[in-house]
Structure 1
Amino acid sequence: MDLELRHLKTIRAIADAGSLTKAASNLGLAQPALSAQLKRIERTLGGELFVRGRRGVRPTPLGELVLDRTRLVLPAVRELQEEAARFARAWHEMPRLRVGGTHGPLLGGLVDRLAAGDPGMPVSTNTSWSEREIADSVADGRLDFALVGTCGESQPPRADRLVWREVAVDPVFVMLADAHPLADRSEIELGALAEESWTDVPGDGCFGDCFAAACARAGFTPARVYETDTASCVHLVQVGRAVGLCRATFPPTPGLVTRPLVDNPLSWRHVLGWHPGGGAAGAADVVMGHARAAHEEAAARSDSYRRWRATHHHLHSLATRDHRPPPARRGRALRGRQ
């Protein structure tokens, strides 16, 4: 027999009542039935839990050990049940879920999973090239959650007011035309791209600085950077006009390939943020679970990322760090390459 929560409640009831007769009455059981149940529990735990006497029962040393655990386990389970009930009520009472993010398929994957998980919950979205704008909207109550990204260990925006939790950490890859001379390599040295033109999406974070610093370490300065929307970036790469940096989860696209950079000079943290006092804060764990699942689905669709993961176990991780206000660490966020 496996020990169950009801068994712990029975042990607690016997100890509180001080006798099997009183405990049986409190539990609505016949005294012989309670005695038989106690014996089964004792056999499972390997010894007697109570010493029986004319004045009732008192716990044995083993009984005291088990009772000490029930003082922790039973309140924790009760708190879990109450919290789950509050969450369920809050979730169903929410008129809609408002999610903001920078441009990328991870936001779409999150919305898809939220809609599938609860078809009755309307989900609205807001996108911007500015992580700060999205974070401000959450801090001001105009959005419930922000799904953005940061470069390396850079602090997410509005960390003085929002809770931020990491969804995943990815390396930054390079995308090239499938006819590019380096497209057949499994990994590419950043310095091997010194003569290339680059293309990138806009943003108000520190990606430009991070990229420039990585290029400087590789011994060059980019000659030209085309800053434009995602579709135009992809087109410029496909026609061989430029190469570009992208998230490792970048989806398969005709005419181009994505490849990891040697020694992973840049990394990308996907982060989910919300206001701790907001009405949707109770849904954060559910939304986080869907965001992580959406990321894993995106990662599984990328052949190059699957190969990278298979050979870089020590670097691949799904982080769970929280960034809670206050205080905020100084730092700038990278632009949103979901």
Structure 2
Amino acid sequence: MTKEFDVVQLDVHHLRVIRAIADTGSLSRAAIALGVTQPAVSAQLKRLENMLGYQLFDRREGGVTPTPMGELLLRRTAALLPQLDKLLEDIEQRVCPSGPPGVVRVAAVASALVARLPSLVTRLWPEVSEVQVVHDDHPERLLPLLAQRRAELGLVKDYPGYELEVPANVDTAVVVTEPTFVLLPEFHPLAREEVIDLRDLRDESWVMVSDSSAATFTKYFADTCARHGFSPSFTHQVTSQQVALLVVKAGAVGLSQPICDPVNLGIVTRPLRGDVLPRRHVLAWNRETFVAGRREELISAVVETYWAEARTAPVYAAYLDKTREW
């Protein structure tokens, strides 16, 4: 029976995948070379084999080898891929020669720095005419945008021991490691304290943002509480930080980034004693783009912006002054 196949469906991404598998001899090593996960490579290969109706590689212990159909496809595309790469390189050089493009795309999670990013980028690189910020509180969805060159910059957060999986062609730099602050209703007995021990909150009712983007932090928090000898009671699970503030005002206890100080809401913000629940702000970029050559000035500007913003939060500013004394 003759197999029908629409060759238009065979794109350059498919060719890169099979070339990487053949060159490295395994799906896992191909994934590293491509800057993606092994399941992603496996899924792409399966999709292509289903599309063609032929198996392209024999899976064996210790690696893979091309089937006759796989060898045919590799031979026919051996000269094609370098030509496509050269074409894409020529196009990229025209669109973005050695400096930034006219439009810089930033992929960022929610933080006090997000609003500052457009002015920071245009001040740093005046040739940029527009900055587009893509907000997503799932950092694991943002880093692939950099790997795929669908964004020039990324600003994400992670936690010690719960670091993000970074694609192979993406570089990162930690902007700052900051503490996590606790939110209390102003009538809470501990609201009079300057610093609060996490153990003193063992019997509290906690409010946590419960969407999937907060799942890693929730686990991080629960594990930290366990190391302090208790299991937190999550009596309130809400969908946004705005709702969480209302619940705290009514009597629950919550957590916050130190710069995000809810002033005049019947809520007080207090630091936790010791190096408890630190979080990292992480800058990310594709190492094959213009950012790689300008990363030092970028990192310096983002760090400077962070500390300038930190000084506008009274409780955090006082905390920073106090830690210098300590």
Residues 201-250 of structure 1: CA deviation (Å, up to 9, x unaligned): 3426632222111211222212225142122122222232x221112222
Residues 24-52 of structure 1: CA deviation (Å, up to 9, x unaligned): xxxxxxxxxxxxxxxxxxxxxxxxxxxxx
The one-letter amino acid paired with 1:112 is S
The one-letter amino acid paired with 1:126 is V
> Which residue of the partner structure matches residue 134 of structure 1?
142
Matched, 1:97 2:113: no
Match of 1:108 among 108, 112, 115: 115
Preserved contact between residue 169 and residue 286 of structure 2 (Cα < 8 Å) = yes
User: Secondary structure of 2:113's match?
Assistant: helix
The separation in 2 between residues aligned to 1:285 and 1:205, in whole angstroms, is 32
Structure 2 counterparts to residues 6-85 of structure 1, below 5 A: none
Structure 2 counterparts to residues 157-236 of structure 1, below 5 A: 157-201=165-209, 202=211, 203=213, 206-224=216-234, 225-236=236-247
Preserved contact between residue 189 and residue 262 of structure 1 (Cα < 8 Å) = yes
Bigger-Rg structure (1/2): 1
Judged with a 3 Å threshold, the aligned counterparts in structure 2 of structure 1 residues 252 and 135 are, in CA distance, closer, same or farther, namely: same
The separation in 2 between residues aligned to 1:209 and 1:154, in whole angstroms, is 9
Judged with a 3 Å threshold, the aligned counterparts in structure 2 of structure 1 residues 234 and 283 are, in CA distance, closer, same or farther, namely: farther
> Which residue of the partner structure matches residue 244 of structure 1?
254
The separation in 1 between residues aligned to 2:285 and 2:242, in whole angstroms, is 29
> Which residue of the partner structure matches residue 285 of structure 2?
274
> Which residue of the partner structure matches residue 122 of structure 1?
130
Judged with a 3 Å threshold, the aligned counterparts in structure 2 of structure 1 residues 132 and 264 are, in CA distance, closer, same or farther, namely: same
The one-letter amino acid paired with 2:232 is P
Give how far 1:259 is off.
0.7
Preserved contact between residue 144 and residue 167 of structure 2 (Cα < 8 Å) = no
Give how far 1:162 is off.
1.1
Matched, 1:299 2:306: no
Matched, 1:156 2:164: yes
The separation in 2 between residues aligned to 1:314 and 1:281, in whole angstroms, is 37
Give how far 1:153 is off.
5.0
Matched, 1:145 2:170: no
Residues 292-311 of structure 1: CA deviation (Å, up to 9, x unaligned): 12211221012222222223
Give how far 1:114 is off.
2.5
> Which residue of the partner structure matches residue 253 of structure 1?
263
Preserved contact between residue 103 and residue 128 of structure 2 (Cα < 8 Å) = no
Give how far 1:279 is off.
4.1
Give how far 1:99 is off.
0.6
The separation in 2 between residues aligned to 1:214 and 1:120, in whole angstroms, is 43
Give TM-score, length-normalised by structure 2. Answer: 0.63
User: Secondary structure of 1:207's match?
Assistant: helix
The separation in 2 between residues aligned to 1:162 and 1:272, in whole angstroms, is 10
User: Secondary structure of 2:115's match?
Assistant: helix
Preserved contact between residue 102 and residue 128 of structure 2 (Cα < 8 Å) = no
Structure 2 counterparts to residues 305-316 of structure 1, below 5 A: 305-313=316-324
> Which residue of the partner structure matches residue 30 of structure 2?
none
The separation in 1 between residues aligned to 2:248 and 2:214, in whole angstroms, is 23
Judged with a 3 Å threshold, the aligned counterparts in structure 2 of structure 1 residues 283 and 236 are, in CA distance, closer, same or farther, namely: farther
Judged with a 3 Å threshold, the aligned counterparts in structure 2 of structure 1 residues 120 and 141 are, in CA distance, closer, same or farther, namely: closer
Judged with a 3 Å threshold, the aligned counterparts in structure 2 of structure 1 residues 193 and 119 are, in CA distance, closer, same or farther, namely: farther
Give how far 1:271 is off.
0.7
> Which residue of the partner structure matches residue 17 of structure 1?
none
The separation in 1 between residues aligned to 2:167 and 2:319, in whole angstroms, is 32
User: Secondary structure of 1:285's match?
Assistant: helix
The separation in 1 between residues aligned to 2:168 and 2:197, in whole angstroms, is 38
For structure 1, the residue ranges without an aligned partner over 5 or more in a row are: 1-87, 316-338
